[in-house]
């Protein structure tokens, strides 16, 4: 077997996040974007002595359990890869993958609780970052998500099923508007062009909408026209903010060098478990709020009684977990690197009349050295890549009674968990929460 060979195989298993596993000519073959039970044609992209990697060419025969996808963009868009999988099967796959990862680390018994499903299977997201581009080279302007396995092609996701109708209406209207006035999108290869991203938020409980258009400074936005376009769009929710951000950096990320508020103010308000949270354009907030309520309730249950206990909420975002735990705690201290999120966290603590919460802006690696309090409980919600290797030992050296680790990527948890075990901690409970239906991702 050599590179570029074409093989036909049946997928036997699935590794996180979405890598099909099979055997061929006494080698373990990995084929991304496949499902167990599918018969596929694939091209070998890398071959070693005992294993190989292959790129999917086509699915020849679907798995017996597959169903008709809900979304018309399935297969083209890189966003959802489980749409053809019945929801109960999705939960089974995710739970199995996480348990296999954890079982590969732990030698002692622990309690693996049943996965918690998302309250909503579709239209659950409260935020999207749509990209401007084209679907085919030099084709008409597109606005949506990246084509699967592509850094450049953008699929018009006007029928996206993981957001509600207001997102779809906003996308369609804005795409139609910019197609009509011949604005160009930002080309990553040449660093030339105007339109970059469209950030949209809509809260679940209050129905408030925030729209932030992100462009370069290479052209001018007709602000009055853009404002009228959105305010005259028939939406179910209420538009609370329209903003125009300028970002001239080369990074492929939705952010702002400067931001101008065209309408309202840079916030929408969400409700979680009886508390209210103001969310700005770029602050982190769980994208599935009903799922977040399930997740945070589990955290609260895992911790148990918190009276007279000090809690550190590290990688705290807008402070949701810390504030949900605060009413029954002595003190909560949060650390978050995004200053805007920290501002919102402290603002939200005041909004919820919580006087025992403090949120600090800075890198956990550096700021944790400045804390004088001794925590009884540390809640960790690190980014996808996990905890910085230099920070993890500093965190453990506080020697709290309990750690709660909320992982959005089980392979990062796999890397971090052994460090806790080496320092004498024991895993007692693990539970998955499906925050991202129709995708391979899961919270643990």
Separation of alpha carbons 214 and 227, rounded Å: 14
Structural contact between residues 31 and 11, judged by C-beta atoms closer than 8 angstroms: yes
Helix (H) or strand (E) holding 293: helix 289-303
Distances (CA, A) of 345 to 257, 263, 264, 284, 404: 22, 23, 20, 10, 20
The residue assigned the tokens 């062009």 is 193
Check 77, 80, 160, 408 and give the catalytic one: 408
Helices and strands, counts by H and E, the chain: 9, 22
Separation of alpha carbons 339 and 110, rounded Å: 37
Q: Tell me the sheet residues that pair with 134.
A: 141, 153
Distances (CA, A) of 364 to 89, 282, 317, 359, 409: 38, 19, 12, 12, 19
Helix (H) or strand (E) holding 95: helix 87-103
The structure tokens listed for 126 are 């409260």
Roughly how many angstroms between the first and final C-alpha of the chain, as a whole number?
Answer: 38
Separation of alpha carbons 223 and 211, rounded Å: 13
The residue assigned the tokens 């680790």 is 405
Structural contact between residues 292 and 303, judged by C-beta atoms closer than 8 angstroms: no
Helix (H) or strand (E) holding 190: none
Helix (H) or strand (E) holding 172: helix 165-180
Residue 408 annotated among the catalytic residues of the structure: yes
Separation of alpha carbons 272 and 196, rounded Å: 32
The structure tokens listed for 129 are 């970052």
Q: Dihedral (C-alpha) 287, 297, 308, 371: value to the nearest 10 degrees?
A: -30
Beta strands 127-134 and 195-202, pairing class: antiparallel
The structure tokens listed for 228 are 């009228």
Question: Which residue numbers are catalytic?
Answer: 408
């Amino acid at each position: 077997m050599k590179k570029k060979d074409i093989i036909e195989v049946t997928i036997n298993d699935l590794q996180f996040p979405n890598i099909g596993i099979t055997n061929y000519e006494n080698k373990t073959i990995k084929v991304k974007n496949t499902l167990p039970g599918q018969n596929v044609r694939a091209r070998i992209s890398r071959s070693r002595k005992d294993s190989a990697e292959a790129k999917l060419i086509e699915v020849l025969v679907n798995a017996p359990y597959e169903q008709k996808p809900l979304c018309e963009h399935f297969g083209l868009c890189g966003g959802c890869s489980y749409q053809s999988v019945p929801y109960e099967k999705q939960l089974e796959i995710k739970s199995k993958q996480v348990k296999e990862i954890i079982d590969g680390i732990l030698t002692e018994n622990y309690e693996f609780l049943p996965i918690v499903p998302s309250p909503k299977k579709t239209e659950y997201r409260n935020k999207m970052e749509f990209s401007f581009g084209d679907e085919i080279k030099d084709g008409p302007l597109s606005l949506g998500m990246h084509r699967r396995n592509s850094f450049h092609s953008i699929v018009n996701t006007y029928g996206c099923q993981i957001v509600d109708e207001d997102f779809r209406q906003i996308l369609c209207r804005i795409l139609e508007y910019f197609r009509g006035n011949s604005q160009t999108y930002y080309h990553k290869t040449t660093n030339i062009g105007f339109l970059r991203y469209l950030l949209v938020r809509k809260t679940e409980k209050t129905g408030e909408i925030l729209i932030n258009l992100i462009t370069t400074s290479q052209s001018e936005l007709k602000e009055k026209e853009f404002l009228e376009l959105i305010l005259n769009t028939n939406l179910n929710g209420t538009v609370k903010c329209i903003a125009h951000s300028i970002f001239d950096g080369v990074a492929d990320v939705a952010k702002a060098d400067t931001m101008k508020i065209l309408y309202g103010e840079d916030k929408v308000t969400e409700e979680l478990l009886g508390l209210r949270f103001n969310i700005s354009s770029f602050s982190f907030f769980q994208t599935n709020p009903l799922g977040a309520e399930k997740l945070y309730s589990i955290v609260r249950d895992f911790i148990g009684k918190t009276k007279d206990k000090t809690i550190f909420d590290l990688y705290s975002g807008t402070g949701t977990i810390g504030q949900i735990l605060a009413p029954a705690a002595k003190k909560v201290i949060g650390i978050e690197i995004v200053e805007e999120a920290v501002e919102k966290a402290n603002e939200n603590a005041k909004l919820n009349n919580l006087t025992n919460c403090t949120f600090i802006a800075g890198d956990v690696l550096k700021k944790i050295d400045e804390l004088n309090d001794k925590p009884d409980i540390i809640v960790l919600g690190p980014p996808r890549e996990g905890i910085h290797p230099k920070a993890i030992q500093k965190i453990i050296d506080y020697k709290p009674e309990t750690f709660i680790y909320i992982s959005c990527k089980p392979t990062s948890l796999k890397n971090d968990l052994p460090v806790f075990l080496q320092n004498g901690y024991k895993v007692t409970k693990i539970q998955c929460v499906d925050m991202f239906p129709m995708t391979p991702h899961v919270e643990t």
